[in-house]
């Protein structure tokens, strides 16, 4: 697990957004994993996922507060959370400014369609090369389509670990593009789901808000977080 922390981006949101801006501008290929405790636990239990996390070209950012706190316990100087939702928001603004293109893959059809409508209305400089919901069977074919479209950014919202595995499987065939696995971000950005109120975010309780809103998350949360905590204590 320590190897994942060694690779964790420490510099905070503003610095990371700058990396995204420059990657878009220079058409540099970039794969971003927005990590929470479940991400690292998946790496421990799944060899392919472990490989993608360790890959030197993969950029891991601390999405969950659990990762930030654990990093501090292990002596890393991680500044703050860098969340998937805010990466999406920043990328959309920047893609608009740079007049570049994006492809959206993931979430339910009505969610991703609503998001695309919003993007077309609010960001006239963005070229949406296409979109696909996250419940189509053959996602490899979707990626073949994306390969032909050559968008500047590909946002994939399928949840962990599916989104990262899919991106990593096809990444080698692309020459450019910012690829990010963004979890539930399309639900929030489309307006279909509300993000936690600012107060929850400020006090690092966004995870609690999500569990209260969707109690079915509780089992998954406990399983990965308790095992994660035990691992951290062992590593300390
Ligand atoms: N999803 C999908 N296809 C699937 C399973 C999930 O497109 O086969 C979508 C789901 O609709 C949601 C996102 O993936 O928009 C996962 O969201 P979740 O909140 O579980 O992700 P987290 O942010 O917790 O990683």
Return the pLDDT at 86. 96
For the stretch 133-139, contacts whose Cβ atoms lie closer than 8 Å and that sit 24 or more positions apart, written own/partner, are 133/106, 133/107, 133/108, 133/109, 134/105, 134/106, 134/107, 134/108, 134/158, 135/108, 135/109, 139/105, 139/166
Asked whether residue 131 is domain-assigned, the answer is: yes
* Cβ partners under 8 Å of residue 138, min gap 6: none
Check: CB of residue 230 under 8 Å from CB of residue 66. no
Task: Give the model's confidence band at 224: pLDDT under 50 very low, under 70 low, under 90 confident, else very high.
Answer: confident
Q: Is 166 in the pocket of ligand 1 (CB under 6 A)?
A: no
CA of 234 to the centre of ligand 1 (A): 31
User: By C-alpha distance, which of 107, 194, 215, 228 is closest to 159?
Assistant: 107
CA of 131 to the centre of ligand 1 (A): 16
* Cβ partners under 8 Å of residue 79, min gap 6: 10, 11, 12, 13
Q: Is 107 in the pocket of ligand 1 (CB under 6 A)?
A: yes
Q: Is 159 in the pocket of ligand 1 (CB under 6 A)?
A: yes
Asked whether residue 57 is domain-assigned, the answer is: yes
Q: Is 132 in the pocket of ligand 1 (CB under 6 A)?
A: no
Strand partners, 181: 33, 156
Asked whether residue 106 is domain-assigned, the answer is: yes
Angle (CA) 1 18 13, round 5°: 50
CA of 156 to the centre of ligand 1 (A): 10
DSSP state for residue 191 in the 8-state scheme:
T
Q: Can you state the percent helix, strand and coil of the chain, rounding each to 5? A: 55, 15, 30
pLDDT per residue over 36-85, tens digit each? 999 999 999 999 999 999 999 999 999 999 999 999 999 999 999 999 99
Tell me the mean pLDDT in the region 113-117.
98
Asked whether residue 1 is domain-assigned, the answer is: no
Asked whether residue 4 is domain-assigned, the answer is: no
CA of 26 to the centre of ligand 1 (A): 30
Q: Is 135 in the pocket of ligand 1 (CB under 6 A)?
A: yes
Asked whether residue 9 is domain-assigned, the answer is: no
Return the pLDDT at 223. 86
Asked whether residue 7 is domain-assigned, the answer is: no
Radius of gyration, CA atoms only, the chain: 17
Asked whether residue 8 is domain-assigned, the answer is: no
Tell me the mean pLDDT in the region 171-186.
97
190 pLDDT higher than 90: yes
Mutate to test the pocket of ligand 1, among 36, 159, 207 (most ligand atoms within 8 A of CB): 159
Count how many domains the chain has. Answer: 1
Q: Is 207 in the pocket of ligand 1 (CB under 6 A)?
A: no
* Rounded distance between C-alpha atoms, residue 76 and residue 88, angstroms: 26
CATH, residue 206: 3.40.50.2300
Mutate to test the pocket of ligand 1, among 105, 134, 186, 220 (most ligand atoms within 8 A of CB): 134
Q: How many helices (H) and strands (E) does the chain have?
A: 13, 6
Tell me the mean pLDDT in the region 90-103.
98
The domain in which residue 120 lies consists of 17-235
């Amino acid at each position: 697990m320590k190897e994942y922390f060694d690779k964790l981006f420490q510099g905070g949101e503003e610095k990371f957004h700058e990396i995204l801006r420059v990657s878009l501008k220079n058409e540099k290929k970039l794969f971003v994993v927005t990590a929470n405790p479940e991400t690292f636990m998946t790496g421990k239990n799944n060899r392919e996922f472990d490989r993608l996390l360790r890959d030197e070209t993969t950029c891991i950012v601390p999405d969950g507060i659990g990762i930030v706190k654990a990093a501090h316990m292990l002596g890393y100087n991680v500044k703050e959370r860098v969340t998937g939702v805010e990466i999406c928001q920043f990328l959309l603004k920047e893609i608009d400014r740079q007049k570049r293109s994006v492809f959206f893959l993931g979430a339910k059809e009505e969610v991703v369609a609503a998001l695309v409508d919003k993007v077309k209305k609010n960001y006239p400089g963005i070229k949406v090369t296409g979109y696909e919901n996250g419940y189509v069977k053959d996602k490899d074919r979707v990626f073949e389509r994306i390969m032909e479209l050559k968008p500047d950014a590909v946002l994939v919202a399928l949840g962990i670990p599916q989104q990262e595995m899919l991106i990593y499987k096809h990444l080698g065939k692309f020459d450019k593009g910012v690829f990010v696995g963004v979890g539930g971000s399309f639900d929030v950005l489309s307006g279909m789901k509300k993000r936690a109120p600012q107060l929850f975010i400020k006090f690092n309780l966004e995870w609690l808000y999500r569990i209260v809103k969707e109690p079915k998350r509780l089992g998954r949360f406990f399983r990965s977080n308790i095992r994660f905590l035990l691992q951290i204590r062992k590593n300390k």
